[in-house]
Amino acid sequence: MSHSPTDNAGAAVGTVKSYALGFAASVVLTLLSFGLVMGGALPRLPLILALFALAVIQLFVQLRFFLHVDRSSAMYWNLMALLFTFFLMFLFIGGSIWIMYGLHERM
């Protein structure tokens, strides 16, 4: 057998290089997020957008390099379940914000 039993399981094999790359990218993204807020150089709206963008990029970095989610056939159902969960989160969080802020405006 050329590979170990967990090779194409829900969390596939990473290499030292892939973990180091994911770690370095995450450290840089985290420092950027904190640096932007603690430095206070950006105005409010661009700052908020930048923070969301950095968080989303780091989310994908960690999914790719730590949890090895990619478009390979072994990860197909993991990816589908994840995308469906993102859709539910969008409804959940987006819907709550929409309804509660709408209510707030009318009160």
Partner 1 sequence: MTTAQTAHLPGAPGHEAHGGPGGHDMGEIQAFGFWIYLMSDLIVFSALFATYVVMAHNYAGGPTPKDLFELPAVLVETMLLLTSSAAYGLAMVAMHKGDLRSVRLGLVAAFALGLGFLVMELAEFQHFIGIGAGPDRSGFLSAFFTLVGTHGLHVTFGLLWIVVMLAQLSSKGLTAPVKGRLTRLGMFWHFLDIVWIGVFTVVYLLGVVQ
Give the binding site for partner 1 (CB under 8 A): 1-6, 8-11, 13-16, 19-20, 22-23, 26-27, 30-31, 33-34, 37-38, 44, 47-48, 51-52, 54-55, 58-59, 62-63, 66-67, 77-78, 81-82, 84-85, 88-89, 92-93, 95-97, 100
How far is it, in rounded angstroms, from Cα 106 to Cα 101?
Answer: 9
Rounded (10°) angle between helices 16-39 and 44-65:
170
Q: Is 51 exposed, middle or buried (0-12, 13-18, 19+ CB in 10 A)?
A: middle
**Smallest distance, Å, CB 31 to partner 1?**
8
How far is it, in rounded angstroms, from Cα 84 to Cα 19?
Answer: 26
Comparing CB distances to partner 1, the nearer of 4 and 106 is 4
**Smallest distance, Å, CB 42 to partner 1?**
9
**Smallest distance, Å, CB 80 to partner 1?**
10
